[in-house]
Amino acid sequence: MEESKKKTRRPKKKRTRVRGVPYSMELCVASASQTLQLEAQALSIQLVDLQAARRNQIKDIVIVAGCSVLSTSQWRSLAAIESEKRCQAEKLNRELKVLLSEQMSIRANPEDSREDSCVSGPPNIQRPILGLNFSEYVLDEMLNSLDWLRLDTDTMLSAMDDSTKISFRWQHMPLSNCIRSTSITPVRCSM
């Protein structure tokens, strides 16, 4: 009887998953994200209010400084305000220098790649207008070094007919700078 109950039970539904996490986890993450966004908005509004209040304090101290002789505490607060302004300006200056260096490096990268690539064209080789002509020298050297390829003139071969076969074989030796080729012209003989 228990076996029949096990067989008749429907399988449990698995919770639907969104982007690899359970749906309930996705809801928790979404609500936490929304809460953090609201908190960030509230803090940014509070920051704007505090900055406005600080600016008003600065204006009030500057107005007082222009009217009468300041006490030591007023001078200190005025110096602290000026120091704070200077620190903010230096911080902003450092950030701007970093941004400028990043922009310059981004600008320099395409210029370097353009110089390195074929966009700049083939390399310009400077040759003198009047130069020595070595073509005859090179041709003579090539002719003199190819003597071993010439046929021996004292070897006599019979006349070729349609049944004569000529074989040719060549071999390239990758470790050397030459290609050796041999050809065989069989001498006609009766067998």
- Spatial contact of 11 and 5, defined as CB atoms under 8 Å apart: no
The predicted-structure confidence for 2-14, as pLDDT tens digits, reads as follows 555 555 666 666 6
pLDDT digits (tens, 9 = 90+) for 64-112: 655 555 677 777 877 888 888 889 889 989 998 988 888 888 777 665 6
Q: How confident is the model at residue 191 (pLDDT cuts 50, 70, 90)?
A: very low
Number of H helices, E strands in the chain: 4, 4
Residue 123 has φ and ψ, to the nearest 5°, of -65, 140
- For the full predicted model, state whether its pTM sits above 0.85: no
